[in-house]
Amino acid sequence: MFFLLTLSSAIGLALGNILESVGLRKANSAKSLVKNKFWLGGLGLSAIATLLYYAAMAEYNISLVQPFMALNPALTAILGWKLLGERMTRKVAFAIALIFCGLLIDGTMAGESSGGFRPKETLWIYAGAVLALLAVFCSIFRDSEIVDSLCAGVGFGLSAVIYKSISLEGLFPPPVDSRIFVFAVLYLAAFLCSQIGLRRGRALFVIPLSAAVGLIVPAIGGILVFGEPFPPQKIIVLFLVSAGSILFIRE
């Protein structure tokens, strides 16, 4: 079930990214965008893939699930090569190889013991530290592509950590819970940043960088906030998939 959920999610997100990017570039106004079949189809696929991703997170350690999201840029590149006739460079091929090597190692740890939820203060301290780092990086790198990518990655990554904390308390958490509100705000902000980034930037820059950031933030969160196991193999996995994701960035 672990591989079914994670692989289905990654494939759906990759297909959704391609369709959304095509739709955003074809649309010349907000009105034409909401009628664009490519953008709507990509949005629908991404929504289904996201639900599968959250199902995987609720069931398994987030530091195991998250590396599989690095398949997003890898599959996007492969699909772009096969379906859209884009060029496959040695750099991209090497990036794909790194990601797949990392995932092969990650898959061997699928049966590791589950983590637990540390005091809620740990969650907020971690979220605050990550947002502070985001502010610092955005003040240093003022390029719109970098800022959009960082904001999207951090937003999706932190929302995943907060969702994981909610899922540990059952399918029906208390209706009045600040985590639900923060999750919704972070996810919506990340979605808007990703759409803005795809609109005014290069998809093969925005997607890889946001994917790398969105991978690292929840993976580290799983270890620090939920006390998930952190064997040496996991360090190798995070290094391989992060390096592979970043290599997709085109200058």
- What are the φ/ψ torsions at residue 177 (nearest 5 degrees)? -145, 120
For the chain, helix (H) and strand (E) counts, in that order, are 11, 0
Q: Quick check: 148 and 196 in contact, CB under 8 A?
A: yes
Encode pLDDT of 133-169 as tens digits: 999 988 888 788 888 888 999 999 999 899 888 888 7
Select from 70, 27, 75 the least CA-distant residue to 213.
Answer: 70
Mean of the pLDDT values across residues 214-225? 88
CB 110 within 8 A of CB 60: yes
- For residue range 159-189, what is the model confidence (pLDDT) as tens digits? 989 988 888 876 555 666 788 889 999 999 9
Which amino acid type is present at position 62?
A: I
| pTM, rounded to two decimals | 0.78
Inter-residue contact 234 to 112 (CB < 8 Å): no
Q: Give the C-alpha separation, 145 to 166, whole Å.
A: 32
> What pLDDT score does 124 carry?
92
The type of residue at 14 is A
